[in-house]
Amino acid sequence: MLIQLMACGNKKSSPAKNDVKTYPVLEMAYQQAEIDNDYPATIQGIQNIEIRPKIDGYVEDIYVDEGAAVKKGQLLFRINAPQYEQEVKTAEANIEIARADVNAAQMELNKVKPLVDKDIVSKYAEEAAQYTLQSRQAALTQARAALSNAKTNLSYTCIYSPADGVIGVLPYKIGSLINSTTPNPLTTVSNISKIYAYFSINEKQGLDFFTASKGRTMQEKLATLPPVTLVLANGTLLPDKGKVETASGLINTQTGALNMRATFPNPAGLVHSGSSALVRIPEKIDTALLVPQKATYQIQGKLFVYVLEAGNKVRSAEITSTASAGQAFVVTAGIRPGDKIVADGISSLREGLVIKPKPVSAADAFTLL
């Protein structure tokens, strides 16, 4: 009886040992894909204007604060420079003197002219009076120019914003002595309604980039490029798409890089000059081998998949991927079209395990994600 019970127990447990688990299996084939190429970029506003004083004086008033949005023509600073006010008053006084001299010279000419007509005095007296009048008139013109120059210098005591933008740092406070040779600007005004993202690609990428683009000239090729995305430092995307507009005509001989610039609208002023970001450029691939990310695992930085072999056994295979397309890797080495890989549930697999394959299409394999 004991032997019979043990035999019955073995019969009940044997089906569990022979139970083969089912896994979805994807047959590899070329397909179209769109990958994202990211390039580190530095951000600059379309205008970065340094505000510098043109005269000597003390900072009397500061009408803006750091980071404030300003409009073109808005008053930013006032410089205390009383010498320019005195120069205006002096120039005005010189004009009055010169005007009086002109009037006196005109009177002298008017007095001499009748005498010349009557041959009482020589005509040279009239010419001398005429030259004196011209000299006095020139002196008046010079005095007026001096007044205009003095008023111009006086106007430099009030500094206005040359454009719409955002105020940068304010290194000088009220009471600081400044002049035209002061090393640092009073501030900067950055126009960030649009922003420039400057980035670089290497020589090989540049050749591939523009060989695949349509057009004969560089500008025609740039015009055919798709819209690009700006990835901000916190990983979020700038809502508005941008456009790659310029590419340097020279390759940097030291770095082998080609400098490029993309322009993005920035109506909300979210991105500031000096920020760091990534320019993301989409690229279409007509013959790509796509492997679902969930079908892969990593060991010491290397990427592996499980390939189905004869007898429904699985073996691990190292693959090489240069880019990702959504939730998939674009594979360049390690597997070929026609190979079958386990598309999901690989955490319970091991080398040489026999499975029951369930063929799935590429659409179904990525739906599993």
Architecture of domain 19-33+286-367: Beta Barrel (2.40)
The better pLDDT of the pair 63, 116 is held by: 63
Average confidence (pLDDT) over 27-31: 84
Q: What is the 3-state secondary structure (H, E, C) of the chain?
A: CHHHHHHHHHHHHHHHHCCCCEEEEEECCCEEEEEEEEEEEEEEEEEEEEECCCCCEEEEEECCCCCCEECCCCEEEEEECHHHHHHHHHHHHHHHHHHHHHHHHHHHHHHHHHHHHCCCCCHHHHHHHHHHHHHHHHHHHHHHHHHHHHHHHHHCCEEECCCCEEECCCCCCCCCEECCCCCCCCEEEEEEEEEEEEEEEEHHHHHHHHHCCCCCCHHHHHHHCCCEEEECCCCCECCCCEEEEEEEEEECCCCCEEEEEEEEECCCCCCCCCCEEEEEEEEEEEEEEEEEHHHCEEECCEEEEEEECHHHEEEEEEEEEEEEECCEEEEEECCCCCCEEECCCHHHCCCCCECEEEEECHHHHHHCC
Q: Where in the chain is the domain with CATH 2.40.420.20?
A: 19-33+286-367
List every span in the chain annotated with CATH 1.10.287.470: 82-155
Question: Which pLDDT score is estimated for 15?
Answer: 40
Name which of 201, 188, 192 is nearest 43 in CA terms: 192
Q: Looking at per-residue confidence, does 109 or 365 come out higher?
A: 109
Q: What is the pLDDT of residues 194-223, one digit of tens each?
A: 999 999 887 777 777 777 677 777 777 788
Q: Which pLDDT band, with edges at 50, 70 and 90, does 90 fall under?
A: very high
Give 248-267 pLDDT, tens digit per residue.
767 766 777 888 899 999 88
Residue 8 in this model has a pLDDT that exceeds 70: no
Read off the pLDDT band of 297 (50, 70, 90): confident
The answer, yes or no, to whether residue 14 has pLDDT greater than 50, is: no
Residue 348 half-sphere exposure, CB side, CA atoms within 13 Å?
A: 8
**Is the pLDDT reported for residue 16 higher than 50?**
no
pLDDT at 61: 94
Instruction: Put residue 121 in one of left, alpha, beta given phi > 0 → left and psi -120 to 50 → alpha.
Output: beta
Residue 162's Cβ-count burial label (10 Å; 0-12, 13-18, 19+) is: middle
41: buried, middle or exposed (CB in 10 Å: 19+, 13-18, 0-12)?
A: buried
Residue reference for tokens 């205008």: 47
Return the pLDDT at 4.
Answer: 54
Mean predicted lDDT score pLDDT of the chain: 84
Q: Is the pLDDT of residue 368 over 70?
A: no
User: pLDDT tens-digit profile of 304-358?
Assistant: 988 988 888 888 888 888 776 667 788 888 888 888 888 888 888 888 888 888 8
pLDDT tier for residue 18 given thresholds of 50, 70 and 90? low
- For 37, counting Cβ atoms within 10 Å of its Cβ (0-12 exposed, 13-18 middle, 19+ buried), the class is middle
Tell the residue number behind the tokens 């500031």, with chain if given. 272
State the span(s) of the chain assigned CATH 2.40.30.170.
37-45+190-285
pLDDT at 369: 46
pLDDT tops 60 at residue 1: no
pLDDT for the residue numbered 64: 93
* pLDDT tens column, 262-278: 999 988 888 888 888 99
- pLDDT score at 102: 92
Q: What local confidence, expressed as pLDDT, does residue 13 receive?
A: 43
Q: Return the percentage of the chain with pLDDT > 70, whole number.
A: 92
Distance between CA atoms of 201 and 282, rounded to whole angstroms? 14
Using alpha carbons, list the distances in angstroms from residue 159 to 114, 176, 200: 56, 15, 38
- Among residues 52, 77, 54, 50, the alpha carbon closest in space to that of 153 is found at 54
- The per-residue pLDDT for 19 is 73
State pLDDT tens for residues 171-180. 999 999 998 8
Is residue 193 within 8 A of residue 71, CB to CB? The reply is no
Mean of pLDDT values over 136-156:
92
pLDDT for residue 255: 72
In the chain, % of residues over pLDDT 90:
28
State which CATH number among 2.60.40.10, 1.10.287.470, 3.40.50.970, 3.40.190.10 fits the domain covering 82-155: 1.10.287.470
Residue 181 pLDDT greater than 90, yes or no:
no
Q: So what's the architecture of 37-45+190-285 in CATH?
A: Beta Barrel (2.40)
The answer to whether residues 200 and 192 touch, using CB atoms and an 8 Å cutoff, is: no
